[in-house]
Chains A and B, each alone.
Chain A
Amino acid sequence: MKITLKVWRQKNSNTPGKLVEYQLDNVSEDMSFLEMFDVLNDSLTRKGEEPVAFDHDCREGICGTCSMYINGRAHGPQTGATTCQLHMRSFNDGDTIVVEPWRARAFPIIKDLIVDRLAFDRIIQAGGYVSVNTGSAVDANEILIPRTIADEAMDAAACIGCGACVAACKNASAMLFVSAKVSQLAILPQGKSEHKERAERMVAQMDSEGFGACSFTGACSVECPKSISLDHIARLNREYLGAKLSSDNIQG
């Protein structure tokens, strides 16, 4: 199939970028979207041009590294999938495909389609953990957890931190990410003891990173490759308000 690509090219965070058009004539419909980019980069390299910088790692939908905004949607037209799980058969012969990086103040562009997602790491560092003693591992079933609660926690823990929620949100809000990371710990007994500080610190970090507020449009959940539910955002709101009203922290 023949594909026209319009790809965002930007040398670094200080240089303004622009959409550059490329023609690809021999695209197989069985290629993944990233393989199509490999072909493009191969041809650019042969011509002595700078290849398009893009993030990728596992290429099997579990690492959350690939991050393209394809034809107006995070990770392209599919739902519940990452860019590496998107195949060219989702497009038609002769299509023009616009590819942009995630756009958010908190995700500055490093180069071309690569953005800096360290803001997510800093939110995790602020409270997305449980404090446990190191040493020998405890028995697997020492604390019994009902199946429904384990499933709910697992649904939240499925978040791979890709940032599609931020990319898709009209406010570039990180609420779905933060809510998944708060939920996965808050609903398990191991996470209960620190749940107040966790919610307070992670939300404070989220705000200081420059993400927007939640308008509850639901775009994040639709575009999330792991289909994280909006239930978690409600839980984060409960956790945060509950913590603010009842924690010992009066300094804010």
Chain B
Amino acid sequence: MAWVTQTLSSSLGRKVIMSLTGLFLCSFLIIHAAGNLQLFKGDGGRAFNEYTYFMTHNPLIMTVSYLLYTSILVHALMAFILTRHNQASRPVKYAYSKPEANSEWSSRNMGILGTVLLLFIIIHMRTFWFEMHFGSVPMAEYDGKEYKDLYRVVQAAFGELWYVTLYVICMVAVGYHLWHGFQSGFQTLGIRHKKYTPLIEFLGKYFFAIIIPAAFAAMPIYVYLQVHHII
């Protein structure tokens, strides 16, 4: 098994771990965004609460959720290890450097963007995931069946302007992170071909870096406007 540990601790192996966990997290974003579109239904939160019940009780989804938590931790930990290693590779910095002449800002700041996202995930999970699992969430009853009314928690959180602002800023960070990250993940796996790379770049930039973060950002804005009877 020496070859396995040796491969995974090489610079390329570490990047493969980043790529696989990162792309898995990208796939999660699609499900998360699609599911949470229930917030827009305008039915007082019934569809959303039924959806959250399904997500917290389906055994397959519960199993995948542990894979998800692990992926977030591994992705962050490996990023930390790689960043430290990369910084050590240039102990004396340039007195004058002009990186903007040869590369995109997002590609050079994945660590900073990732740190913002990690902090966001902690805040986000404290507000919703923790409340859902361990907090005291009010109950709602539909057709004689009891549901945890997470929709009330969402309304309370997204009724605060500072919280909505924080979410929108963090979704911009998601956009920049995926602008580089999605296509870069494929490059790490060696998947680069004139037939597929244009599609991968298109998906990464327009779907993952713009549409998905925009959909997420629309949720707190919509709920805020609704709670305050602006729409």
With both beta carbons as reference points, the residue of chain B lying nearest to A243 in the complex is identified as: B7
Q: Does A4 make an interface contact (CB < 8 A)?
A: no
Q: Does B95 make an interface contact (CB < 8 A)?
A: yes
Kindly list the 4 A-B residue pairs having the minimum CB-CB distance in the complex, ordered from nearest.
Answer: A252-B6, A238-B190, A72-B98, A234-B192
Asked, given contacts A73-B101, A172-B89, whether A100 binds B94 with beta carbons under 8 Å apart, the answer is yes
**Cβ A249 vs Cβ B107 within 8 A:** no
Which among B3, B82, B96 is the interface contact of A251 at CB below 8 angstroms? B3
**Using Cβ atoms and an 8 Å threshold, which residues of chain A touch B14?**
213
**Using Cβ atoms and an 8 Å threshold, which residues of chain A touch B184?**
215-216
**Cβ B107 vs Cβ A215 within 8 A:** yes
Q: Does B63 make an interface contact (CB < 8 A)?
A: no
**Using Cβ atoms and an 8 Å threshold, which residues of chain A touch B16?**
237, 241
**Cβ A234 vs Cβ B3 within 8 A:** no
**Using Cβ atoms and an 8 Å threshold, which residues of chain A touch B12?**
203, 213-214, 236-237, 240-241
**Cβ A73 vs Cβ B103 within 8 A:** no
Interface membership of chain B positions 160-179, coded 1 if the CB is closer than 8 angstroms to chain A and 0 otherwise: 00000000000000000000
Which among B90, B95, B187, B192 is the interface contact of A212 at CB below 8 angstroms? B90
A130 to chain B, nearest CB (A): 22
**Using Cβ atoms and an 8 Å threshold, which residues of chain B touch A249?**
3
Q: Kindly specify which of A47-55, A102-110, A153-161 makes contact with the partner chain.
A: A102-110
With both beta carbons as reference points, the residue of chain A lying nearest to B6 in the complex is identified as: A252
5 A-B interface contacts by CB (under 8 A) = A77-B101, A105-B88, A105-B91, A237-B187, A241-B12
**Cβ B15 vs Cβ A218 within 8 A:** no
B106 to chain A, nearest CB (A): 9
**Cβ A73 vs Cβ B102 within 8 A:** yes
Asked, given contacts A173-B89, A217-B108, A219-B102, whether A234 binds B190 with beta carbons under 8 Å apart, the answer is yes
B79 to chain A, nearest CB (A): 11
**Cβ B85 vs Cβ A213 within 8 A:** yes
**Using Cβ atoms and an 8 Å threshold, which residues of chain A touch B86?**
170-173, 212-213, 215
Q: How many residues of A contact B (CB 8 A)?
A: 52
**Using Cβ atoms and an 8 Å threshold, which residues of chain B touch A244?**
3, 7, 13
**Cβ A204 vs Cβ B95 within 8 A:** no
A98 and B96 alpha carbons, distance in the complex (Å): 7
**Using Cβ atoms and an 8 Å threshold, which residues of chain A touch B58?**
none
A69 and B104 alpha carbons, distance in the complex (Å): 20
A6 and B180 alpha carbons, distance in the complex (Å): 35
**Using Cβ atoms and an 8 Å threshold, which residues of chain B touch A204?**
10
A252 and B6 alpha carbons, distance in the complex (Å): 5
Which among B6, B11, B99, B180 is the interface contact of A206 at CB below 8 angstroms? B11
**Chain B interface secondary structure, helix, strand, loop or mixed?**
helix
Q: Does B93 make an interface contact (CB < 8 A)?
A: yes
**Using Cβ atoms and an 8 Å threshold, which residues of chain B touch A6?**
95
**Cβ A216 vs Cβ B187 within 8 A:** yes
Q: Does A228 make an interface contact (CB < 8 A)?
A: no
A105 and B88 alpha carbons, distance in the complex (Å): 7
**Using Cβ atoms and an 8 Å threshold, which residues of chain A touch B7?**
244, 252
**Using Cβ atoms and an 8 Å threshold, which residues of chain A touch B96?**
71-72, 98, 100
Interface membership of chain B positions 182-205, coded 1 if the CB is closer than 8 angstroms to chain A and 0 otherwise: 001001111110000000000000
Which among B10, B99, B103 is the interface contact of A207 at CB below 8 angstroms? B10
Interface membership of chain B positions 6-36, coded 1 if the CB is closer than 8 angstroms to chain A and 0 otherwise: 1100111111100000000000000000000
A231 to chain B, nearest CB (A): 6
Q: Does B231 make an interface contact (CB < 8 A)?
A: no
Q: Which of B94-127 contact A (CB under 8 A)?
A: 94-99, 101-104, 107-108, 110
**Cβ A72 vs Cβ B107 within 8 A:** no
**Cβ A250 vs Cβ B2 within 8 A:** yes
**Using Cβ atoms and an 8 Å threshold, which residues of chain A touch B89?**
104-106, 171-173, 210-212
A21 and B114 alpha carbons, distance in the complex (Å): 40
**Using Cβ atoms and an 8 Å threshold, which residues of chain A touch B104?**
217-218
Interface membership of chain A positions 220-246, coded 1 if the CB is closer than 8 angstroms to chain B and 0 otherwise: 001100000011011111111110100
B77 to chain A, nearest CB (A): 15
**Cβ A222 vs Cβ B2 within 8 A:** no
